[in-house]
Amino acid sequence: MHHFNLNPKLYLVTDRCWLGERSLAVSVEAAIQGGVTLVQLREKEVASGAFLNLAQDVKAVTDRYGIPLIINDRVDIALAADAAGVHLGLEDLPVQAARKLLGPHKIIGASAATLEEAAAFQKQGADYLGVGAVFPTATKLGNETVNLDDLRKIKSAITIPVVAIGGIKAENAASVMRTGVDGVAVVSAIMNQSDIRVAAMRLMSILKEA
Amino acid sequence: MHHFNLNPKLYLVTDRCWLGERSLAVSVEAAIQGGVTLVQLREKEVASGAFLNLAQDVKAVTDRYGIPLIINDRVDIALAADAAGVHLGLEDLPVQAARKLLGPHKIIGASAATLEEAAAFQKQGADYLGVGAVFPTATKLGNETVNLDDLRKIKSAITIPVVAIGGIKAENAASVMRTGVDGVAVVSAIMNQSDIRVAAMRLMSILKEA
């Protein structure tokens, strides 16, 4: 369907709030050097112009490494930055509306928390699913709605790639991968680490062994 | 350039915070019945999916009256709703980036506070300018940066339509129109009135006489 080689094995979702003095582009580069296979730029509190600038900065890095860049929510930013695609949450544009704007060759990911949602998004033309939250996260406590058994059931019923998300870190990543999912998406397990490259390397080696 | 007949004489910018129990679509319809010639949907605190729903609801009304609907900031929402165009503030996407996504036939408006900004946006391909704030507004005090003399100078130097914005109401609308601008944009002078239709009618009769 699309030109990009979608490998969501270690999927980095950005969150600048963990970065302190480090720039986002530099942090993303370190994460890619550590093995991240897909990057999502997620920015909730930024104006459109600044979001586009940030997307362009990060895309200069992801392009250099041949890693697809996914933009959270904003189809216009994805188009303006010529990113690889978008990730849509339940409150974002419907998958079909985004597909109409993006055309057949861009990646559209969608967030699902149940098998019903997952099946619906697959039917609507999503290219991959982010499923969770599997564990409580640093930013959202008590939001875990998908356990490992649910994850296994969703994965076995769905043909597009399934990425687990929510509180995944080195300590629990192997148990998540053993459900059969295609990858894990992480925020703080990479972004909140003092050595981002090493954190990504460590996670990737766990994913490969699992 | 575009298919729409751009008449910005009485330009309604929406703000749901004034509406109380009234729905946005019903309020916009009353404003159009009172004489509003152009409508901008401005929503800052809403998720993308809800913004699209709202845009579709309002567009059903504006279409019925042949009034163009402009979407604030969000090019993707404008495209998905097939609105007439977008209005871009200084923190939004650059005019050229929006034009690339929207094509030659959609309306692009831009906010300018100086003659330099106005000339730059005209050069970049904006179809009209919103210039202000002319007077202090209910939501932003002390933000008036364009006086009536500035407005006159900007209007005489610019060839695309110039719409004045910022604290314009029945009491001062005539003085604004006498600067030569093509129209006035209002929020609370229509949205915050108990009878929206009558408020718009009263404003329009002042604009016509000025």
Contact A101 B79 (CB under 8 A): yes
Which chain A residues touch B92 with a CB distance below 8 Å? 47-49
Nearest to A79 among B47, B74, B101 (CB): B101
Give, to the nearest 10 degrees, the angle between helix A196-209 and helix A24-33.
40
pLDDT tens digits, residue range B88-135?
A: 999 999 999 999 999 999 999 999 999 999 999 999 999 999 999 999
pLDDT tens digits, residue range A157-184?
A: 999 999 999 999 999 999 999 999 999 9
* pLDDT computed for residue B21 by the predictor: 77
Residues with Cβ within 8 Å of residue B70, at least 6 apart in sequence: B38, B39, B40, B41, B78, B83, B84, B85, B86, B87, B107, B109
Name the pLDDT band for B18 (thresholds 50, 70, 90).
Answer: confident
Name the pLDDT band for B136 (thresholds 50, 70, 90).
Answer: confident
Contact A76 B80 (CB under 8 A): no
Name the pLDDT band for B176 (thresholds 50, 70, 90).
Answer: very high
Give the pLDDT mean for B150-158: 98
CA distances, B78 to each of A8, A145, B58 (Å): 31, 34, 12
Under 8 Å between Cβ of A166 and A188: no
Report the range of poorest mean pLDDT among A8-12, A19-23, A80-84, B201-205: A19-23
- Asked if B48 is an active-site residue, the reply is no
Q: d(Cα B104, Cα B189) in Å, to the nearest integer?
A: 32
Give, to the nearest 10 degrees, the angle between helix A24-33 and helix A48-65.
30
Instruction: State the Cα angle at B160 between B176 and B113, rounded to 5°.
Output: 55
Q: Which helix (H) or strand (E) holds B86?
A: strand B85-88
Contact A79 B76 (CB under 8 A): yes
Whether residue A138 is predicted with pLDDT greater than 60 in this model: the reply is yes
Under 8 Å between Cβ of B101 and B71: no
Name the pLDDT band for A142 (thresholds 50, 70, 90).
Answer: low
Whether residue A4 is predicted with pLDDT greater than 90 in this model: the reply is no
* pLDDT computed for residue B2 by the predictor: 52
Q: Is A66 on the interface with B (CB under 8 A)?
A: no
Contact A48 B80 (CB under 8 A): no
Whether residue B202 is predicted with pLDDT greater than 70 in this model: the reply is yes
The rounded percent of chain B whose pLDDT value lies above 70 is: 95
| Cis amide prior to A133 (ω within 30 degrees) | yes
Structural domain boundaries in chain A: 10-209
Under 8 Å between Cβ of A189 and A169: yes
Q: d(Cα B200, Cα B86) in Å, to the nearest integer?
A: 22
- Asked if B42 is an active-site residue, the reply is yes
What residue type is B115 in one-letter code? L
Q: Which two tokens stand for residue B130?
A: 């919103």
Give the pLDDT mean for A180-206: 96
* pLDDT computed for residue B142 by the predictor: 66
Under 8 Å between Cβ of B94 and B133: no
Nearest to A92 among B47, B75, B79 (CB): B47
Give the three-state DSSP class for B93: coil
* pLDDT computed for residue B22 by the predictor: 83
Under 8 Å between Cβ of A8 and A182: yes
Closest chain B residue to A72, measured at CA: B48
What residue type is A51 in one-letter code? F
Name the pLDDT band for B27 (thresholds 50, 70, 90).
Answer: very high
Name the pLDDT band for B138 (thresholds 50, 70, 90).
Answer: low
Whether residue B71 is predicted with pLDDT greater than 60 in this model: the reply is yes
Give the three-state DSSP class for A194: coil
* pLDDT computed for residue B139 by the predictor: 65
Closest chain B residue to A94, measured at CA: B49
Whether residue B45 is predicted with pLDDT greater than 90 in this model: the reply is no
Contact A97 B91 (CB under 8 A): no
Q: How far is CA B26 from the centre of its chain?
A: 18
Domain made up of A10-209: CATH architecture: Alpha-Beta Barrel (3.20)
Q: Which of B48, B59, B82, B102 is the best substitution to test chain A (most A C-beta atoms within 10 A)?
A: B48
* pLDDT computed for residue A5 by the predictor: 77
Whether residue B60 is predicted with pLDDT greater than 80 in this model: the reply is yes
Q: Which two tokens stand for residue A207?
A: 């994913």
Give the three-state DSSP class for A130: strand
Report the range of poorest mean pLDDT among A73-77, A137-141, B15-19, B51-55: A137-141
* pLDDT computed for residue B19 by the predictor: 77
Report the range of poorest mean pLDDT among A18-27, A85-94, B109-118: A18-27
Place of tokens 């690889």: A84
Catalytic residues of A: 42, 111, 140
Backbone angles phi, psi at A174, to 5 degrees: -65, -40
Q: Which segments within chain A are labelled E, that is strand?
A: 10-13, 38-41, 69-72, 85-88, 107-112, 128-132, 162-165, 183-186
The rounded percent of chain A whose pLDDT value lies above 70 is: 95
- Asked if B140 is an active-site residue, the reply is yes
Instruction: State how beta strands B38-41 and B10-13 pair.
Output: parallel
The candidate with the shortest Cα–Cα distance to A110, out of A83, A134, A91, is A91
Beta pairing partners, B209: none
* pLDDT computed for residue A140 by the predictor: 66
| ipTM of the complex model | 0.91
pLDDT tens digits, residue range A9-22?
A: 999 999 887 777 78
Q: d(Cα A90, Cα A111) in Å, to the nearest integer?
A: 7
